[in-house]
Amino acid sequence: MHAISRKILFLCLVCLLLSSLVCAADAETMYDAEYCFCEADFCDAEMGPVDGIFIRSIPSEDVATVMLGDRSIRPGDVLSAASLEQLRLIPKAEHNCSVELSYLPIYGTHLTEPSVVTIRIHSGKNEAPSAENVEFETYKNIPNDGKLMASDPEGGKLTYQLVDMPKRGDVKLSDDGSFLYTPKKNKVGEDRFTYTATDDAGNVSKPATVNIRILTPTEKMTYADLKGSTIEFEAMWLNEQGLFGGDRIGAKNCFHPEMAVSRGEFLVMAMELLDILPEAQPVSFVDAKEAPQWMQAYMAGALRKGLIHGKQSDNGLCFFPNAPISPQEAAVMLQNMLELPVSVSHLESDYPHWASKAVHALSSLGIETDFHAEQLSRAEAAKLLYRISKL
C-alpha cells in the first residue's frame, strides 16, 4: 500500500461529505463464490485507470466481506492501484441481493467524485419477480399511456397479466408492460386495475395496483390536432400548468406536436415548472435582443444562477434563444436546475462529455426520451416536463 500525504487524507475526509455518486462498475457473483476485483472495476471512462482509492464504505458484515489478502478492508483504508487486483469479496448472504463498495478515486494527488462498485449476489434460486404499484392520471375523455413496473431478481424477461379490470375505463396491455387506459365518457374520479408479472421460469409476482386519477381540466379547451393521440394528456397538462398553450389558428387550438421547441421556450417552461424566478436585469449574452423582452428576464436569472452558460461565437457569448433545443441540451438544463444525483457507468458513453452525466442522471430515474435526436419536439418536451414534475 502506497504512503499518502496528509493533504490527500484531509481531502478524503472532506470528500466523504459529498453527496453525488458515480457508479463505476456493476458485477455479479454466486452466493458460494468469491468475486475477485480487477483494476477495470475502478476505471472511469473519462479519467481512465486510477492511481489508488480511498475506501468510504463497505458492505454490511452479515452480507459480505471485502478482503485484501488476510485482512478485512475498512472505511478509511487507502489502496494502491496494484493492490486492487488482490481485492476479494466473500459473500455471506444466501439470498439475492446487491452490495456496494464506495470509494474516492485517486489520480496523482487529486481526488474525483465519490464512486461505487455494485456487486450482485445471486442465491442460485429462481425467485419470483416483484411488481410495483403505479400512480397514473389522465383527464376526462382523454386516453393516456403508461408503463407497468416490475423487476426479476435474475434479470429475465417478464410477461404481464391483468388480474382485476378497471371500472371507469378500459385498459389495453402490451407484451412489454406498456398500457393504454381510456376513461369512459365523462367519467372522473378514481379508478384502478391490478396486474402480475411472470418470469421465464413461470414464477408469478404478487399482484400490484395501478391507481388512476381521472381529472377534470379547469379549461374546456382541446387541441384539434391531438384527438385520440397519446400525447394529448401531456399537452393538456402543459396548458393546465400555464406552461404552454399551443397555437390558435382560426377557431381551433393546435399543438403541433412535431414542431421543435426553442432553447428560450424550454428554458422558460422549465423555470416556471420548477418555480425558478426570472430577474429583471441586463443580460450579458450578445444575442439577448433576439429574444422578447420578457424572455430576457428568464435568461438573466438562469445565467446568474449558473443554470445556463451559453456558447461562444465570433461575436461573443451567445444563448441562441430561437435555435431549436436538442434533448441533450434540455437534459443539461434540467440537471443544472435539479442537481440530480449523477450515475455514470464505467463503460464508454455514447453521449458527448458535456451531456453524458445529465442524460444518465435523468435515465436513472426512468425519465427517457430520444436523447440522440437533433431537436426536441413539443410532444417530447411535454412528456419530459410532465415526468420531471413527478420527481
What integer pLDDT is reported at residue 19 of this predicted model?
38
Rounded-to-integer distance, Cα 142 and Cα 214, Å: 9
Say yes or no: 42 and 115 in one domain. Answer: yes
Q: Which helix (H) or strand (E) holds 388?
A: helix 378-389
For residue 125, the tally of other CB atoms under 10 A from its CB is 11
Percentage of residues of the chain with pLDDT beyond 90: 70
Rounded-to-integer distance, Cα 195 and Cα 188, Å: 22
Question: Tens of pLDDT along 108-133?
Answer: 888 888 888 999 888 777 889 999 99
Say yes or no: 105 and 172 in one domain. Answer: no
Is 1 within the bounds of a domain?
A: no
Q: Which helix (H) or strand (E) holds 33?
A: none
State the average pLDDT for the chain.
89
Q: Which three cell numbers stand for residue 388?
A: 420531471
What integer pLDDT is reported at residue 130 of this predicted model?
95
For residue 66, the tally of other CB atoms under 10 A from its CB is 22
Question: Tens of pLDDT along 345-366?
Answer: 434 468 898 998 899 899 988 8
Say yes or no: 307 and 385 in one domain. Answer: yes
Three-state SS for 183-249 is ECCCCCEEEEEEEEEECCCCCECCCEEEEEEEECCCCCCCCCCCCCCCCHHHHHHHHHCCCCCCEEE
Percentage of residues of the chain with pLDDT beyond 70: 92
pLDDT at residue 288 greater than cutoff 70:
yes
Q: How many CA atoms lie within 13 A of 96 on its CB side?
A: 12
CA dihedral sign, ordered 123, 128, 133, 138? positive
What integer pLDDT is reported at residue 343 of this predicted model?
54
pLDDT at residue 9 greater than cutoff 70:
no
Rounded-to-integer distance, Cα 289 and Cα 266, Å: 18
Say yes or no: 147 and 224 in one domain. Answer: no
pLDDT at residue 226 greater than cutoff 90:
yes
What integer pLDDT is reported at residue 89 of this predicted model?
93
pLDDT at residue 18 greater than cutoff 60:
no
Q: Please count the structural domains in the chain.
A: 4
Q: 33-60 burial by CB neighbour count: b if 16+ within 10 A, else e? A: eebebeeebbbbeeeeebebbbbbebbe
Say yes or no: 382 and 284 in one domain. Answer: yes
Q: Which domain holds residue 211?
A: 130-215
Say yes or no: 92 and 170 in one domain. Answer: no
pLDDT at residue 7 greater than cutoff 50:
no
Q: Which three cell numbers stand for residue 258?
A: 412535431
Question: Tens of pLDDT along 296-340?
Answer: 999 999 999 999 999 999 989 999 999 999 999 999 999 999 988
User: Which domain CATH number covers 186?
Assistant: 2.60.40.10
What integer pLDDT is reported at residue 15 of this predicted model?
41
What integer pLDDT is reported at residue 32 of this predicted model?
86
What integer pLDDT is reported at residue 349 of this predicted model?
67
Is 272 within the bounds of a domain?
A: yes
Per-residue pLDDT, averaged over 229-236, amounts to 96
Rounded-to-integer distance, Cα 105 and Cα 79, Å: 10
Is 54 within the bounds of a domain?
A: yes
Say yes or no: 211 and 223 in one domain. Answer: no
What integer pLDDT is reported at residue 208 of this predicted model?
98
